[in-house]
Structure 1
Amino acid sequence: MASKVIHAYYNDDEVLMHAVKKVKAAKHHIEEVFCPFPVHGLDKAMGLEPTRLAITAFLYGCVGISVATLMMNFIMIEDWPQDIGGKPSFSYIENMPAFVPIMFELTVFFAAHLMVITFYLRSRLWPFKKAENPDVRTTDDLFLMEIEIHENESELRDLLAESGAVEINISEKNSH
């Protein structure tokens, strides 16, 4: 099912920020904003919820340190204990200072790799996915604000023109 959307183009990030605040104040829902570079504060101006990816990074780090601890305890203490440098392998606690670098590295390894996978899955970025960018000019020098139209086309067009849009287009958007 296709729906109509209005695309407002801006050539300055500060003008875009003021326009987003104006559109939100007028109680319109902004579907998406496409920018050639990150705009500081845009997420707050759009009213987006904070990300929970930091929580998952912490949990993945906990998984990494747990795997490191269990792996080193099994390999170096239970399965094949060795006397390395005069340090006998009688218990994990006695040898833990030697294991700290491995624990750190596996914590970072698990957190980093699982975060990349989580980010791609959460963003729905899989191999061979077609780009969803409606206009290639937004990768160069223009900012685009996309708003779905609900029988308020003339009101939206006037609001966006008054907010500093350099170009306003109406197009069909296919639902995903």
Structure 2
Amino acid sequence: MASKVIHAIYTDDDLLLQAVKQVREARYRIGEIYTPFPVHGLDKAMGLAPTRLAITAFLYGIVGLAVATAMMNYIMIEDWPMDIGGKPSFSFLQNMPSFVPIMFELTVFFAAHLMVFTFYMRSKLWPFKTAENPDVRTTDDHFLMEVEVANHNTEDLTEFLFNTGASEIKLIDNK
């Protein structure tokens, strides 16, 4: 992270989205953006790589399906076979139509619960973690763009950000 950053505050999400495009075209580096709600298209405007969370959700679903299959095979076929409603208990495949709801539910259960843990770990949201929000107004109705100063002239960058529609700009020295 750069030693100096500029916090540009915007009051409209469309204005922020347009400003992000202008800042990236001018080859300034955006460190982070804080918004009170998700802004559609912001990840693409920032040039962020697509998320791989969907792949992990699919893998977690496969794990849930495997656990459901192994659990039902052990409980209903191997450990305690029962003749329920005239259905034979000779093999898992003969009973699979009656097991489909359980397999579906455990697939969804594993995918959903493990995705919550994955999201918190990926976002570094640990229990009792202090907030990293630089301006409390970004939880209500303001948007904050953190631009790294690096080797750029601070006055020129400040003027450029005001021209993009920023309502307030602060120079922050991170030490």
Give the TM-score normalised by structure 2. Answer: 0.96
Answer whether contact 2:2 2:149 (CA < 8 A) is retained.
no
Unaligned runs of 5+ in 2: none
More displaced, 51-60 or 144-153? 144-153
Give the TM-score normalised by structure 1. Answer: 0.95
**Within-5 A mapping of 1:25-36:** 25-36=25-36
Residue of structure 2 in register with 1:155 after alignment = 156
Residue of structure 1 in register with 2:40 after alignment = 40
Q: Is the partner of 1:81 in helix, strand or coil?
A: coil
Superposition RMSD on alpha carbons, in Å?
1.3
Query: In structure 2, how many angstroms separate the alpha carbons of the residues matched to 1:77 and 1:151?
Result: 69
CA apart distance, 1:2: 7.6
Q: Is the partner of 2:174 in helix, strand or coil?
A: strand
Q: Is the partner of 1:156 in helix, strand or coil?
A: helix
Residue of structure 1 in register with 2:70 after alignment = 70
What are the Cα deviations for residues 131-170 of structure 1, in whole angstroms up to 9, with x where unaligned?
1100001111111100111131122112101111110001
Query: In structure 2, how many angstroms separate the alpha carbons of the residues matched to 1:2 and 1:41?
Result: 26
Fraction of identical pairs, as percent: 70
Residue of structure 2 in register with 1:109 after alignment = 109
Answer whether contact 2:61 2:107 (CA < 8 A) is retained.
yes
Residue of structure 2 in register with 1:93 after alignment = 93
What are the Cα deviations for residues 53-105 of structure 1, in whole angstroms up to 9, with x where unaligned?
00000000000000100111111101111111111200100000110011001
Query: In structure 2, how many angstroms separate the alpha carbons of the residues matched to 1:151 and 1:73?
Result: 64
- Counterpart residue identity of residue 172, structure 1: D
CA apart distance, 1:18: 1.1
What are the Cα deviations for residues 31-64 of structure 1, in whole angstroms up to 9, with x where unaligned?
1111111111111000011110000000000000
Unaligned runs of 5+ in 1: none
CA apart distance, 1:173: 3.2
Residue of structure 2 in register with 1:173 after alignment = 174
- Counterpart residue identity of residue 89, structure 1: S
Q: Which runs of 4+ in 1 moved over 3 A?
A: none
Residue of structure 2 in register with 1:141 after alignment = 141
